[in-house]
Amino acid sequence: MKEEIELIKDGKRLDGRGFDELRPIKIEVGVLKRADGSCYFELGDNKVIAAVYGPREMHPRHAQDAKMAVVKFRYNMAPFSTNDRKRPGPDRRSVEISKVCREAFNPVIMRELYPKMGIEVYVELLQSDAGTRTAGINAASIALADAGIPMKDLVSSIAVGKINGEVVLDLNAAEDNNGEADMPIAMIARTNTITALQMDGRMTQEEFGRGMKLARGACHQIYELQRAALVTRYNQNYEGKNKREEE
Amino acid sequence: MYQVVVPGDFLSEETKRAGEGTYVEEGKVYASQYGIVSERGEIKVVSLSGKYMPSNGDVVIGKITAISFPFWIVNLASPYEARLHVSALSGIAREKIEFGNMSEYLDVDDLVVVKVMDVNVLMKIELALQEDFELRRGGRLIEIPHTKVPRVIGRSGSMIKMLKEKCNCFIFIAKNGRIWIRGKEEDMDLASTVILKIARESHTSGLTDRVAEFLDSFRKEKERELRG
Q: Provide the residue ranges of all domains of chain B, joining segments of one domain with +.
A: 4-47, 59-129, 140-227
pLDDT (mean) for B167-190? 90
A111 touching B, CB under 8 A?
no
pLDDT at B133 over 80: no
Q: Do A238 and B49 touch (CB under 8 A)?
A: no
Half-sphere exposure of A118 (CA within 13 A, CB side): 14
Q: Do B79 and A55 touch (CB under 8 A)?
A: yes
* CATH superfamily label, B59-129: Nucleic acid-binding proteins (2.40.50.140)
Q: Do B203 and A234 touch (CB under 8 A)?
A: yes
Closest chain B CA to residue A154: B7
B200 touching A, CB under 8 A?
no
Residue B31: closest CA among A192, A52, A150: A150
Cα–Cα distance between A71 and A54 in angstroms, integer? 10
pLDDT of residue B107: 87
Pairing of strands A200-201, A181-188: antiparallel
Higher pLDDT, B132 or A67: A67
Q: Do B122 and A54 touch (CB under 8 A)?
A: no
A143 touching B, CB under 8 A?
no
B51 pLDDT tier (thresholds 50, 70, 90): very high
Checking A91-98 for CB contacts under 8 A at 24+ apart, the result is A97/A133, A97/A136, A98/A73, A98/A74
pLDDT of residue A80: 97
Of B8, B35, B123, the CB nearest to A116: B123
A241 touching B, CB under 8 A?
no
Select B140-227's CATH number: 3.40.50.300, 3.30.1370.10, 3.40.50.11540, 3.10.620.30. Answer: 3.30.1370.10
Mutation choice for B interface testing from A243, A244, A245, A247 by most B CBs within 10 A: A243
- Residues on chain B touching A234 (C-beta within 8 angstroms): 4, 36, 48, 203
Helices (H), chain A: 92-104, 132-146, 173-178, 205-232
| Mean predicted lDDT score pLDDT of chain B | 88
pLDDT of residue A37: 96
pLDDT of residue A3: 63
Least confident residue range of A100-114, A161-175, B14-28, B80-94:
B80-94
Higher pLDDT, B135 or B175: B175
Count of beta carbons in the 10 Å neighbourhood of residue A63: 10
Mutation choice for A interface testing from B4, B5, B6, B44 by most A CBs within 10 A: B6
B136 pLDDT tier (thresholds 50, 70, 90): low
Least confident residue range of A124-138, B52-66, B151-165:
B151-165
pLDDT of residue A66: 92
Closest chain B CA to residue A232: B4
Per-residue pLDDT reduced to its tens digit, A158-176? 999 999 999 999 999 999 9
Cα–Cα distance between B210 and B190 in angstroms, integer? 15
Q: Do B79 and A150 touch (CB under 8 A)?
A: no
pLDDT (mean) for A208-233? 96
Mark which residues 67-106 of A lie under 8 Å from B by CB: none
pLDDT at A243 over 70: no
- Residues on chain A touching B19 (C-beta within 8 angstroms): none
Higher pLDDT, A129 or B209: A129
Cα–Cα distance between A131 and A184 in angstroms, integer? 7
pLDDT of residue A2: 57
Give Cα separations from A56 to A110, A116, B52, B53, B160 (angstroms).
Answer: 15, 9, 11, 11, 31
pLDDT of residue B91: 75
pLDDT at A247 over 60: no
| Mean predicted lDDT score pLDDT of chain A | 93
Count of beta carbons in the 10 Å neighbourhood of residue A37: 25
Q: Do B49 and A146 touch (CB under 8 A)?
A: yes
A-B CB pairs within 8 A amount to: 92
Half-sphere exposure of A58 (CA within 13 A, CB side): 19
Q: Regarding the domain delimited by B4-47, which CATH topology (the fold level of the hierarchy) does it fall under?
A: OB fold (Dihydrolipoamide Acetyltransferase, E2P) (2.40.50)
A239 pLDDT tier (thresholds 50, 70, 90): low
Q: Do A110 and B123 touch (CB under 8 A)?
A: no
Q: Do A110 and B1 touch (CB under 8 A)?
A: no
pLDDT of residue B14: 93
pLDDT at A237 over 80: no
Half-sphere exposure of A226 (CA within 13 A, CB side): 34
A54 touching B, CB under 8 A?
yes
Q: Do A54 and B79 touch (CB under 8 A)?
A: yes
Contact B114, B175 (CB under 8 A): no
Q: Distance, in angstroms, between B195 CA and closest chain A CA?
A: 19
Asked if the domains B59-129 and B140-227 are classified in one and the same CATH topology, the answer is no
Higher pLDDT, A238 or A131: A131
B79 touching A, CB under 8 A?
yes
A149 touching B, CB under 8 A?
yes
What domains can you pick out in chain A, each with its CATH number?
Answer: 15-246 (3.30.230.70)
Cα–Cα distance between B222 and B228 in angstroms, integer? 10
In the sheet with B170-173, reading across from the earlier edge strand, the strands are: B140-143, B178-182, B170-173
pLDDT of residue A244: 41
Mark which residues 4-43 of A lie under 8 Å from B by CB: 36-37
pLDDT at B223 over 90: no
User: What is the SS3 assignment for B14?
Assistant: coil
